[in-house]
Amino acid sequence: KNQVEQSPQSLIILEGKNCTLQCNYTVSPFSNLRWYKQDTGRGPVSLTIMTFSENTKSNGRYTATLDADTKQSSLHITASQLSDSASYICVVSRLTGGGADGLTFGKGTHLIIQP
Amino acid sequence: KAGVTQTPRYLIKTRGQQVTLSCSPISGHRSVSWYQQTPGQGLQFLFEYFSETQRNKGNFPGRFSGRQFSNSRSEMNVSTLELGDSALYLCASSLQPGTGGSYEQYFGPGTRLTVT
């Protein structure tokens, strides 16, 4: 069964600290993995997309890593800011030849940055 | 370029009623997908439309339906509402459905539906 598990479910850190969010998946055959940021009351916004051959991708203070052998990904946030408070969703796409039906969503990590 | 817009943003309905939600994709985008998001289940795929045709459907009962118009705008309808239908309904648009999921999709702000 295609699944995406994220940990931790929630996380509270102090402003300026770093943190790492985890994503484990069993989706097969694998196409790509995305990380989304979802602010409260808003739709998800893409942070990174990584294919099988990419093991690191950065977007400002966000760095995603991918280990396709162990089927694990992480999202590292450096020097956190209050605006980083959001839910972070890991989404894995499988090779279906189609579109949105090939996406498997994690339930997200709820991150709170405290001043 | 304007983003994906969804109307209404908030909706309160009574059990047994029906509801219609609307989504306007980014200009030039022809593919629209709908998702239901709840705290317990996360994001779940409802259906996907491209060029007015439903391409894929998720594992939801027949009470959930949708359509896409010639201008790519899409609507979804939920009939005979149940308490469990309370959720954030998200719409996402993309240029076209991509092979292998390599396309980028852009989400709207969602419609918060509360069923009482």
pLDDT in tens, B61-104: 999 999 999 999 999 999 999 999 999 999 999 887 764 555 78
Q: Where are the beta strands (DSSP E) in A39-85?
A: 45-51, 56-59, 62-67, 72-77
Q: Which of A32, A101, A105 sits opposite B43 (nearest CB)?
A: A105
Residues in chain B: 116
Q: Which of B44, B90, B102 sits opposite A32 (nearest CB)?
A: B102
* pLDDT at res. B98: 60
* pLDDT at res. B99: 47
Which helix or strand (DSSP H or E) is residue B15 part of? none
Question: How far, CA to CA in Å, does B76 sit from each of B23, B91, B102?
Answer: 8, 10, 25
**pLDDT tens digits for range A17-72:** 999 999 999 988 888 899 999 999 899 999 999 988 889 999 999 999 999 999 99
Query: What does the pLDDT average to over B25-39?
Result: 93
Helix, strand or coil, per DSSP, at residue B74:
strand
From chain A, the residues in CB contact with B48 under 8 A are 98-101
CB atoms closer than 10 angstroms to residue A23: 27
What one-character DSSP code corresponds to residue B98? P
On whether the CB atoms of residues A59 and A47 are closer than 8 A, the answer is yes
Share of chain B above pLDDT 70, in %: 94
Interface with A, mutate which of B7, B10, B32, B45 (most A CBs under 10 A):
B45
Average pLDDT, chain A: 93
